[in-house]
Chains A and B, each alone.
Chain A
Amino acid sequence: MADRNFFGITTAEREKVFMTLYKKAFPAVAKYVSKMGGSFDGAKDIFQDALVIYYEKTVSASIELQTNEQAYVLGIAKHLWAKKFRENVLHTSLDTYRDDIMDEEDMQPSPAKLLHYLETAGQKCMEILKAFYYDNLPVNKITELFGYSGVRSATVQKYKCMEKVRETIKEKNLAYEDFIE
């Protein structure tokens, strides 16, 4: 099973890991993109998307932790590069890696205004939910990170936050018409 804590718990710990990955893997990706006629900015975009995918796969334990991250990240980047050109679309990269749990409707881009609203009106909740669902941190680490008295308090808070976000989405009606920019 992959080490879900490989990327660390805090932002500072993740920064160290990303710095190491950047130094180890970016040169190979940049070389490849350059060889394929791409630009520095193109290499940067592809590489950063590849890092996001690598992160998501690792923390969700859907892949084994790679002993050769350089080769693995390069592989993702090559796939993204090929797909970008096959579809001739500039920003499709991350959308190609769908979650099995999401149906097609749910993977449509959510309105930016709703995300912005939740970021400002409920940032603490969004951070807690991110820690649980996106970063997949163990509940004891989340308890520590957010200063809860115990694992049970943290778990109850997770569901309270989910209730709050769900109700907000319901109120704002995700039929999108209220949020069309």
Chain B
Amino acid sequence: MRISLNEIKLIDDHIFNQGTHEDALLLDALLILNPALSNQIRWQKKAHTIIKQYGRKKLKAEIESVHRKLFHEPIHQSFRLRILRLFRPG
């Protein structure tokens, strides 16, 4: 892999606590040699936050699709009625 891709792997291992002790020492050394690396770590953490938001958005769309099927398709009518009955005013 390219050096920059190895650096991404090293940062990932640091973020997820998956690296070896040697990896941690290497990252510490690289941070001393190149203080700008701390910004790369920051951007990579942000990237993970964005990926998580993207994942949740897509997953919620999949769940919503299931909900639409259950509450609109005739085949699920008995389930739908069973649920809606719970919210009927007394």
Contact = CB atoms under 8 A, between A and B. Distances in A.
* A and B: bona fide binding partners: yes
A11 B63 CA distance: 10
A166 B40 contact: yes
Contact of B65 (A15, A119, A135, A170): A15
Contact of B67 (A14, A48, A106): A48
Interface string B40-53: 10011111111111
A179 B83 CA distance: 42
Contacts of A55: 59
Interface string A30-58: 11001000011001100010011001000
Contacts of B63: 18, 48, 51-52
Interface residues of A, number: 50
A22 interface: yes
| 5 interchain residue pairs of minimum CB distance | A134-B55, A159-B5, A34-B86, A18-B66, A40-B87
Given A11-B62, A110-B50, 19 more contacts: A18-B62, A43-B87, A44-B67, A48-B67, A52-B63, A101-B15, A101-B16, A101-B45, A102-B48, A110-B46, A115-B50, A129-B51, A133-B51, A134-B59, A159-B1, A162-B47, A166-B8, A166-B47, A169-B46
Interface of A: 11, 14-15, 18-19, 22-23, 26-27, 30-31, 34, 39-40, 43-44, 48, 51-52, 55, 94, 99, 101-103, 106-107, 109-110, 114-115, 118-119, 126, 129-130, 133-135, 156, 159-160, 162-163, 165-167, 169-170, 174
7 contacts: A26-B83, A107-B49, A159-B5, A159-B8, A160-B5, A165-B47, A174-B43
Interface of B: 1, 4-5, 8-9, 12, 15-17, 39-40, 43-60, 62-67, 69-70, 79, 82-84, 86-87
